[in-house]
Structure 1
Amino acid sequence: MKSILPLLCLLIAQFTYAQNISVTELGRYTDGRDGACEISAYDSTTNQLIITNAASDSIDMVDISNPSMPMHMGGIDVTLYGGGVNSVVNLNNGYFAAAIEAVVKQDSGKVVFFDQTGAYVNEVTVGHLPDMLTVTKDGNKVLVACEGEPNDAYTIDPEGSIVIIDISGGVAAVNTSHVKFLTFTDAPTTIAGSIQKPGTTLAEDLEPEYIAVNQTSTLAAVACQENNVLILVDLTADTILTYKGLGFKDHSVVGNGFDATNTDGIINILTQNVKGVYQPDAIAAYSVGGMTYFVSANEGDGRDYGGYSSETRIKNLTLDSMAFPTANILQGDNFLGRLKTFTADVIGDTDGDGDVDELYSYGARSFSIWDETGNLIWDSGDAIEQYIAANHPAFFNCNDGLASKMDNRSDDKGPEPEAVAIGKIGNRFYAFIGLERQGGIMVYDVTNPNSPIFEAFINNFDATSGTMTDIAPEGLVFVPAAESHNGKNMLIVSNEVSGTTTIYEIVDLLSSVMVSAIDAKGSVYPNPTSNELTIEMDSYNKEVQYYLTNTVGQQIEQGVFMGTTTLSLGNLSTGMYYVTIQDATNPSSVWTTKVVKN
């Protein structure tokens, strides 16, 4: 029995960190300058990363043949083509594309094509401020979100657009005839559940931020962050299907609480009479059962320019006395007074009398899943803030990766979920959610879009020093094992503030035997179960030890059997558990599976 305990302790430690997956850091590329690592693309044929570098206005080429020793192999000076690079994407055909803004952001930008060595191939003119680009799954089209951001004085506000570039004939052959602009002149006058700057048309006001494409390359969703709008695009006809306002999150509902102030010096997650405006930054798509789902990182973003700002704080609003009879208390700094909100001319004055009847805040401090028509399927509620509060309180809602700035962002947008990527391992889908201000990556199993399961939190918080190595994840790329040069599932994270790009290996523990010495994998049934659970080791004619644990590694039951045994789960709460099987005479032989008690 003593020989089993060390390995059991190892398993418990592992499950405290991750339920179904294990995460191993393979290596890190470090530039170290703020903005040096923002968006990455991966090329398996050259074993390299292509990284946007705003610190030097370049695109860096980094060899990761050995992920533990990334090597900078050269770069591209993007000032030869414009004012700065905002996004890159590998086209998987020997080329990659870059979204390059004009020297004056309000002018038309470019998409420039390069070969794998970084040599210039071709370019086309696109819309104002191309902020993000992606390629369809079939490799035939490059889609560009052109934000159309105003100048600081807000005297010039170019229209945003979505640009579709047909590359099916090869990037060298692309010209203006292969470029289609989708503008918003046909947009309705107003969109329910959206945010609009007063005195503007939607064509002027909509600012595309991010694009996700479905698996069949027939549908795209375009997030307009500041507007809280999702634009759905038919990629067969290359036309806009609909404009969908994402609506608002009710923070008064239990499970939707948040910490609203940075002045009390404590963690205080409460429900509030406030509505969150989702305003997603990154979005990603995946398909289950023939249906497309979009996952959004609900960061939130205001308009704050020299010539116009939609941002204020709740203490600066004039609140309706009927709706808020205790406004003098509510607007105190230790309550809601410090919370960033919208000016009354944008939203909140429901009866037009000049005072505010409803309170709104930027972002939803969560990630959400939407169906292919833009309807909300699921939201993570206050789970992100609750998890950090329980497990990493020294860094709760911190800024710049510093424990000394704990609680600093509570009055703004909290942990600020910004980046998202979807990875499929075996038959499971995982969502990776990057927290820009908080730091770290939340991992959820989203195989069932209606009921995601928390899996892990990837981070390098150092409570002793009060710092973290990787700060402000901006871009995430998931590389499945079948498409990686090393045969491993890789998550590549570009961290803007720390100027680092970190490479992780992701392993689905339940898709394989943890240690392969058990040569006859067992069966656990029925699963899910409401009462009895049978463990059958098939033809494994040796005595085995079993452990039943919960999701945080606490042991519930253990025993020894050979062949078949039955466990009674009738007295357990509904939820998820783990059965670990270990060869009683060879403790290096282990197999683990998940069990659902209903």
Structure 2
Amino acid sequence: MQKKSLLALLLAAAFMNGCTDHAPQNPVQEDPSSFKEVAGVDLGNVAAAEISAYDPASKRLFTVNNEKAAIVDVLDLSAFPTVTKQQPIDVSALGGVANSVSVSDGKLAIALEATNKQANGSVIVLNTSTLSMIKQITVGALPDMVTFSPDGRFIVTANEGEPNPDYSVDPEGSVSIIDVTNGYSVKTLNFAAFDGMYGALAPKGFRKFGPKATFAQDIEPEYVAISDNSQKAFVTLQENNGIAEIDLINGKVLNIHPLGTKDISYILNSLDASDDDKKVQLKNWPVKSFYLPDAISYFTVNGTPYLITADEGDAREYSAFDEQKRVSSLKLNPVYFPNADELKKTSNLGRLRVTSTRGDFENDGTFEELYSFGGRGFSIFHAADMKRVYESGNSLEQEVIKAGAYDDSRSDDKGVEAEGVTVGWMNGKPVAFIAMERVDAIGVYDLTNPGAPQFLQIVKTGDAPEGVLFIAADKSPNGRSLLITSNEEDGTVKFFQP
């Protein structure tokens, strides 16, 4: 009887230990509407703090910094909120600029473009504790974002494949899948197989417009989100206004999803189109806008998977090709724009930047439709079928205006410019953090109902937050949820807690 009791106790203890591996370590309730700055560090006078990744085992934060050379700064958070800068990782001898970092199971992956930006780049994998190099793997041209799958098996890069300034060299955009469990074998996927689909994609808002570019060359992958089961990747094709769906297990592009356009004549989509009217006033206009998302994040609510995108907007602007035009410089068809002269005033639509690549139906230099850049907010999709279940309209800009943080000088050019997004869990609820580059702030939303997100807070950050990272309480260095922004223009990293 005593032996059975002892065995039962041992089994019960083992069971409880197994359960706590996946249970939250912090039972304290936190208020996701109360984030405030608790620490910060300056990486240099003209540094470009871009993307950060955190290793809970070593309690180190790794931040891309291309101030003088291709380096990754190493910040010790073990005594947080005290933050200590350690010796940085200098990868300049291995390639060009470091663009992104990701961490999984004691490994740090760094996305490194080639010295010749149009050549194939690489991913460098290091040990997060010793910082010794494990592997360098060749990927596609200009790896702009790198991430591990949740199970740590795959490293995935979005290889943007941007052209050179005179557009004489335009590499293919691609996605590379590195299998960590198979000796870091790599498979790089392009989009040539979808060339014949452009006729069906274009009416739904997909764009292919680079000078003399093939379909594969014109695609520019930007950011990657991976499903919870590590089987699929969703990749924003920013300049193209689409999202690619990728099978990681079989290494195959499954689909390209066009994202449509936002109708600014619709009452809830009103915007301030002028930086010259000396006021902030949201109005409706005869304009459509391409969403052109940058960051994307995957989350699940009640077993249903979703994607959230930061609909930043982006235009191609090169010495040999610039698609941007001011409305005031265009010839508008009077049949479609009977009040063209009034619209073209700088206090109305005249200053708004639009694309010259869409809207001229007869290719005669006269425009029948106007298409601008970016959604000035965020979108949420069902991951299963890519149906949009929510689009923020002008609500994010409304909250920024209420907070006194709106920058009217950007009204003509993508507004608040939502660039980064991540989703974290607090008190058993999903919370979205949306980084706005031109507001120097984060918008915080409760995503419990993904079809009707609830605004919680505007959090002021450093100048031009590029990367936004959420660390759950049970992984945080001090046992409380931690929000981190990497701020591109002032080279700071800011830390926020509720």
Same fold (TM over 0.5): yes
Looking at structure 2, the residues matched to 258 and 67 of structure 1 have their Cα atoms a distance apart, in angstroms, of 41
Deviation (angstroms), 1:124: 0.8
Contact 2:227 2:298 in 1 (8 A): yes
SS of the residue aligned with 1:491? strand
Instruction: Report if aligned partners of 2:195, 2:216 keep a CA contact under 8 Å in 1.
Output: no
What is the CA–CA distance in structure 2 between the aligned matches of 1:187 and 1:147, rounded to whole Å?
Answer: 17
CA offset digits 1:381-425 (Å, max 9, x no partner): 111221222221xx422xxxxxxxxx1111111110001010011
1:184 to 167, 174, 191: 191
Q: 1:437 maps to which residue?
A: 438
**Which residue does the alignment assign to 2:15?**
none
3-state secondary structure, aligned to 2:192:
coil
Task: Name the SS for the 1:168 alignment partner.
Answer: helix
Q: How does 1:94-133 map to 2 (within 5 A)?
A: 94-116=106-128, 117-133=130-146
CA distance in 2, matches of 1:312, 1:205: 20
Q: Does 1:303 align with 2:316?
A: yes
| Cα distance, 1:289 vs structure 2 | 2.7
Partner residue of 1:471 out of 463, 466, 471:
463
Contact preservation (8 Å) 1:75, 1:118: no
Give distance in 2, aligned partners of 1:427 and 1:122.
37
Residues 236-291 of structure 1, C-alpha deviations (whole Å, 9 max, x = no match):
32211101110100111111111000011111111111111100111111012322
Given the alignment of the two structures, is residue 67 of structure 1 paired with residue 80 of structure 2, yes or no? yes
Does the residue aligned with 1:187 lie in a helix, a strand or coil? helix
* Structure 1 residue 48: Cα displacement: 1.1
Instruction: Provide the residue aligned with 1:194 in structure 2.
Output: 206
Aligned partner of 2:365 in structure 1 is 354
Q: Tell me the equivalent position of 1:587.
A: none
Structure 2 CA distance, aligned partners of 1:449 and 1:34? 39
Once the two structures are TM-superposed, the CA of residue 115 in structure 1 deviates from its matched residue by: 1.0
Q: Is the 8 A contact 1:45 1:485 kept in 2?
A: no
Deviation at 1:353, TM superposition (A): 4.2
Unaligned runs of 5+ in 1: 1-17, 398-406, 461-469, 507-598
Match of 2:492 among 495, 500, 513: 500
Structure 1: which amino acid aligns with 2:220? E
Q: What residue is the counterpart of 2:13 in the other structure?
A: none
Give the Å deviation of 1:322: 0.2
Amino acid at match of 2:41: Y
The aligned residue for residue 458 of structure 2 is: 457
Q: What residue in structure 1 maps to residue 22 of structure 2?
A: none
Partner AA of 2:433 in structure 1: F
CA distance in 2, matches of 1:123, 1:322: 59
For 2:32 and 2:228, the matched residues in 1 are separated by 25
String of CA shifts for 1:54-92, please: whole Å, max 9, x gaps.
11321111101223321111111121110110000012x
Measured in 2, the distance between the counterparts of 1:300 and 1:439 equals 17
Q: What CA distance in whole angstroms lies between the structure 2 residues aligned with 1:164 and 1:271?
A: 43
What SS does structure 2 have at the residue aligned with 1:408? helix
Q: Among the aligned pairs, what percent are the same residue?
A: 38
Q: Distance in 1 between matches of 2:263 and 2:46?
A: 35
Give the secondary-structure state (helix, strand or coil) at the position aligned to 2:49: coil
Partner of 1:416: 417
Aligned residue identity for 1:411: D
The answer to whether the aligner puts 1:219 opposite 2:211 as a matched pair is no
CA-CA distance at 1:348 after TM superposition: 0.8
SS of 1:45 mapped into structure 2: coil
* Farther off after superposition, 207-216 or 189-198: 189-198
Residue equivalent to 1:156: 169
What's 1:368 paired with?
379
1:485 counterpart = 2:477: yes
- The aligned residue for residue 379 of structure 1 is 391
Whether 1:319 aligns to 2:353 is no
Structure 2 CA distance for aligned equivalents of residues 429 and 350 of structure 1: 44
Aligned position for 2:406: 396
- Aligned 8 A contact 1:246 1:374 in 2: no
CA deviation after TM superposition for structure 1 residue 20, in Å: 5.3
TM-score, length-scaled by structure 2: 0.90
User: Alignment partner for residue 54 of structure 1, among 66, 72, 93?
Assistant: 66
Task: Quote the offset at 1:19 in angstroms.
Answer: 7.7
> 1:43–1:49: 8 Å Cα contact kept in structure 2?
yes
Please tell me the root mean square deviation across aligned C-alpha atoms, in Å: 1.5
1:376 CA displacement: 1.3
Q: C-alpha distance in 2, partners of 1:283/1:418?
A: 9
Q: Which amino acid aligns with 1:369?
A: I
1:3-18 correspondence runs (5 A)? none
* Deviation of the 1:224 alpha carbon: 0.8
1:205 to 218, 225, 229: 218
- CA distance in 1 between counterparts of 2:80 and 2:478 reads 9
Aligned partners of 1:456, 1:359: CA distance in 2, in Å? Answer: 33
Between structure 1 and structure 2, the one with the greater Rg is: 1
Q: Is the 8 A contact 1:273 1:359 kept in 2?
A: yes
Question: 1:152–1:253: structure 2 CA closer, same or farther, 3 Å change rule?
Answer: same
> Counterparts of 1:51 and 1:19 in 2: how far apart (Å)?
27
- In structure 1, C-alpha distance between the alignment counterparts of 2:47 and 2:223, rounded to whole Å: 19
- 8 Å Cα contact 1:34-1:496 kept in structure 2: no
Size of the aligned set, in residue pairs, is: 460
Q: Compare relative contact order (CA 8 Å, sep 6+) and give the higher one, 1 or 2.
A: 2
Once the two structures are TM-superposed, the CA of residue 26 in structure 1 deviates from its matched residue by 2.3
Q: Quote the residue 2:427 is aligned against.
A: 426
Aligned mates of 1:32, 1:380 — CA distance in 2: 36
8 Å CA contact retained: 2:32, 2:426: no
Give how far 1:24 is off: 3.3
Indicate the SS of the match to 2:279: coil
Equivalent residue number for residue 238 of structure 1: 251
Which amino acid counterpart does residue 97 of structure 1 have in structure 2? A
Distance 1:348 1:449 in 2: 33
1 CA distance for matches of 2:421 and 2:277? Answer: 31
In structure 2, what is the Cα distance between the partners aligned to 1:383 and 1:358? 25
Query: Using the alignment, how far apart are the partners of 2:401 and 2:437 within structure 1?
Result: 17
Contact 2:423–2:470 (Cα < 8 Å) also in 1: yes
Distance 1:158 1:391 in 2: 43
